[in-house]
Amino acid sequence: MLFNLRNLLNAATLRKSSKQLVQHFRSGQPTQTNVNLKGRDLLTLQNYTAEEIKYLLWTASDLKQRIKYKGEYLPLLQGKSLAMIFEKRSTRTRLSTETGFALLGGHPCFLTTQDIHLGVNESLTDTARVLSSMTNAVLARVYKQSDLDLLAKEASIPIVNGLSDSYHPIQILADYLTLQEHYGYLKGLTISWIGDGNNVLNSILMSAAKFGMHLRVATPKGFEPDPNIVKVAEEYSKEYSTKLFFTTDPLEAASGANVLVTDTWISMGQEEEKAERMKAFHGYQITMQTGKYAASDWTFLHCLPRKPQEVDDEVFYSPRSLAFQEAENRKWTIMAVMVSLLTDYSPQLQKPTF
């Protein structure tokens, strides 16, 4: 009896969550789209228009609703295979891609530096041509963006950036999906980045303005984002009439923000800089005190893994933290990327409000 009651309660909770999600994603008007991403690479969101990025998020929300909440089986990638090249270890990128691709009926092949040495035992050109003959797409998590660019140039199949020293586009798609689910829209939100001027920030700079989002950035002196990327972001801000602000003061960056975002201060490959970086980032920890400067509805994002010096437990495990929803959405967004680049699938849900 208790078992049956528990099942009924769980089912009711699931239906309620599903209904809330549908309400969020049916808030927009039905929209016809001419977006077609089949065969494209995803190296940086700079190469994608506002409508194309919105289309990826639309597809992600559609797949999440149909598969997770409606229990549908969608073998959209049946008969297709994916080469996953990982020069850097990862939890979320590997799990989201491997399980997501398989859930859609495809076959992911995981390749570490023990299996493949980009540009060492075999040239990048030769690797690209071999993978193009055996798989349908490549997701590569690498140290150098230039390696991705060369792979894309030489391959005849889509190349997806799983992370590089310059960009992390698939992370930002998950961030935006999470914010859309929480707020019901993106346009007009203010994002506050408090941390290193790294690849995650670069991807936000290449895309936030396209949704009409404002961006306030605090980085320590000497840890600013790439000036060339900042220049492009400033052009986007002007084009889309958004505000872009840079400072070295975390509290100034947090002022009026809807979303507080940070990331690791010490990325893989920067371990020797730990002492220097810990000193430079003193005062950059996000706490409830930081939140007092933000908007009343502020939330928190972190791409994980997280260290306590970046954000304290009180914020990280609070209801304001969307970090674990953000992590799950890595799966739905990479599934959307793969479906969009490899098939002619069109979302069945109405287009969300962005």
Side-chain half-sphere exposure of 236, counting CA atoms within 13 A: 27
Residue with tokens 């960009």: 167
Q: 149, 303, 312, 344: which is the annotated catalytic residue?
A: 303
Residue 267, helix vs strand vs coil: coil
Closest CA relative to residue 60, chosen from 331, 310, 353, 263: 331
Tell me the backbone φ, ψ of residue 40, rounded to 5 degrees: -80, 160
Find tokens 């020797």 and name the residue.
272
CA distance 225 to 297: 27
CA 194 vs. chain centroid, Å, equals 17
**CB-based contacts of 320, cutoff 8 Å, min separation 6:** 291, 298, 299, 300
How far apart, in whole angstroms, are the C-alpha atoms of residue 82 and residue 321? 33
- Distance, in Å, from the CA atom of 196 to the CA atom of 19, rounded to the nearest integer, reads 38
Can 196 be counted among the known catalytic residues? no
Which residue's structure tokens are 């840890």? Answer: 223
Find tokens 């570490």 and name the residue: 112
Q: Which two tokens stand for residue 333?
A: 């967004």
Provide the residue type at 19 as one letter. K
Q: Which listed residue (263, 297, 313, 344) is catalytic?
A: 263
Q: How far apart are CA 35 and CA 310, in angstroms?
A: 38
263 part of the active site? yes
Number of other CB atoms surrounding residue 325 within 10 Å: 16
Comparing CA positions, the residue from 171, 167, 151 lying closest to residue 159 is 151
Query: Which residues are catalytic, by number?
Result: 263, 303
